[in-house]
Amino acid sequence: MNIGEASAASGVSAKMIRYYESIGLVPNVARTEAGYRVYGDSDIHTLRFIRRSRDLGFSVEQMETLLALWSDRSRASADVKRIAAAHITELERKAREIEEMAKTLRHLVHNCHGDSRPNCPILEDLSHGEEAAPPKPKRRRA
C-alpha cells in the first residue's frame, strides 16, 4: 500500500510517517521505480504501535526504546515496566504543574472584574511575570 493508505490504516499522518522515517524511528520502506513508498502489514503494525505509544505520551526516544524491546524476543518485561513506570511519574508531575497553572488562572480570573474598566489583574500578572498563586489554606492545629 502507498503512504496514504498506510496512514489511513495506521492512524499516523503521512507527514509523521515521513518524519519517523527521516529520524530512523521506522526503517525506510521499499519504493517503486517511481519512488513511491510501499508499505506492508508489518509496517502498518509498527506504525500502529507508534500511534498508540504517542497517544500515551511517550517521547520519540522512549518509543525508540520500546520498539527495540518489542522486537527483542529475549527482552525482560522488567525493562518495559521500568520505562512505563518512569513515564507515569513524569505524567503525574506534569499533571501537578497543569493543576497549579489552573489554580493560578482561576485566582486571577476570580479577581478580574471583567467589566469596561481597563484594570485587569490577569494582564498585570502577565506583564510582571510574577506568579500570583492563590493563598494557601491555613492548616488547623489539632
Model confidence pLDDT, tens digit, residues 36-66: 999 999 999 999 999 999 999 999 999 999 9
Considering the domain boundaries, does residue 105 fall inside one?
Answer: no
Cβ proximity of 43 and 1 under 8 Å: no
pLDDT of residue 129: 73
Tally of structural domains, the chain: 1
| φ, ψ at 32 (rounded to 5°) | -75, 175
Considering the domain boundaries, does residue 141 fall inside one?
Answer: no
- Return the SS3 of 135: coil
Cβ proximity of 67 and 25 under 8 Å: yes
Domain interval for residue 38:
1-55
CA-based nearest residue to 3, from 51, 41, 53, 37: 37
Considering the domain boundaries, does residue 100 fall inside one?
Answer: no
CATH number for the domain that contains residue 31: 1.10.1660.10
CA-based nearest residue to 17, from 40, 55, 41, 44: 44
- The whole-number average pLDDT for the span 15-32 is 94
Is pLDDT at 139 greater than 70 in this prediction? Answer: no
Q: State percent of the chain over pLDDT 90.
A: 82
CA 13 – CA 63 distance, rounded (Å): 17
Is pLDDT at 130 greater than 90 in this prediction? Answer: no
Considering the domain boundaries, does residue 38 fall inside one?
Answer: yes
Find the helix or strand (DSSP H, E) in which 31 lies. strand 30-31
CA 122 – CA 9 distance, rounded (Å): 45
Considering the domain boundaries, does residue 36 fall inside one?
Answer: yes
